[in-house]
Structure 1
Amino acid sequence: MWRSRRLEDTLLWKSSGCKYTCHAQCRDQVALDCHQNGSINGYPLNPLAQDHINNNQSSDSDVEKEKELRTHLTCEDIRQKVEQYNTKSRDHFKMTLNTNGMYTGFIKVQLDLRRPITVKGGGVGGVKGQEAFYLPRGSVNTLHISSTNTVRQVIEALLRKFTVADNPAKFALFKRFSREDQVYTCKLSEDEHPLFLRLVAGPSTDTLSFVLKEQQTGEVLWDAFSIPELQNFLRILDKEEQDQMCSITRRYNAYREKLEEAMRATGGPG
């Protein structure tokens, strides 16, 4: 009996989170949602999953870290970092340090917008009034800002550059960075200073880059859109629906022609 019990124990696996027990060979086929000490199903979270959880938490700690670092940096520290930044920079986007300790420079922001934006008259394409557009995803824009500009001001400046009429609160600025051969994306607080983050990280966009996205609230806040915006969305959806219907019709017409040709080749009807 003792031997059979010992053998049974070696063939069982028990989750450290919820104490669920199953056969060892069934371990990979069991999906549990129990969490304990940074693990799921008894397995330690990999760095990407753990960072994803951390990124979904409040970014207040990041703001506090930035404020603490900014406080401890002296004017001489800033001067040295600006010089080091300009030395490492491989383009003409250098930083300029003013006598009052404030510095100016350039940041590049990648656009990753999934929904259309409303453009004022005289904007993209020279449209009049307001019109909805899909901005090309992945395009990069350069902004000249100062060390005092916050994330919210950067978002507003970027929207003004494209004459976007949408509420800036619909958008968020994210930082993308690498850690241990993994790429992570983290939402920035509106009080953070992008140029300071750029200065500390250095000029390489592989180390740090900025991405403009929609606010990730889990669902679309339709109440935040105006009636003209919603009407533009409907027109875009109607056009996409018609294009999709035409594409499907062409594809099935092509299939029908091939089938009819095959039937004629074999002497069948048609």
Structure 2
Amino acid sequence: TARLTNGTVFFEDCRHIVLPKLGRLRIKGAQQRLLDRQGETRIGTVSISKDAADRFFLSLQLGSDTPFVPKLSRTNRQIGIDLNTENFLIASDGRTVANPRYYRTIKGKLANAQRTLSRRQRRAKKEQRSLQESKNYQKQRLLVAKIHARVFDRRHDFLQRTSTALIKNHDLVVTEELRSKNLLKNHALAMSISDVGWRSFLCMLSYKAGLYGRQFITVSPKNTTQTCHDCGFVMGSDGTEKLTLADREWICPQCHVHHIRDYNAALNILEKGLQKQQKA
């Protein structure tokens, strides 16, 4: 087993690390694969942080002359992805990934916990006690934080697994540029857009593409939904009306091809990405 150390910080085994001043700490995580790596791995900056749910995290900056992930062979596959609120995504190969909607599953429980937290806050203020000294308030604050953390962890795990699968199985992944700030102005969709985690997902695709030697491209979303992939006709032109969010399926008035709205958009996104790749 390799010994990860920088002289003052080192792993005793896959479950224990020794830090200056703090001494020997028990940890959990995926560090066994680091200890099993061939070649030297150097530890740089070490940071310890605590989140609102009172969980402690250890972050290590690592350096090595050998790659941390193996180089992947080419798949000769490309994919375009349409992100939407109906599903999490629809791909140009016809696959659909459902939106897990993690926040909605705990919305009622969270609302009840936050109301209790507000009552305890008002009580402490009325009795002129600081919130730091109010044990009931701190206990409830921790409960609310743990509910939020549970949702974050589940969403983060879902995004990690989905992004890794897309990058590993395709040489080129194309998505539309994210403009969620504008979409959030639509209050009817704000919760769905915030819950889905699109921005984090695109960041994961970007850094994993660099990590695994794949290509990730974003394209302008302009007319990707309104354009017929078969003949190129754009809805809203020649006296036609633009598609609305309620129009999940439509028939092209020019070539009369029936389209599933988001699948057609994914095909257009892939085509735009291939054109952008050729120009680069």
Give the TM-score taking structure 1 as reference length.
0.21
Q: Which has the higher helix share?
A: 1
Give the TM-score taking structure 2 as reference length.
0.20
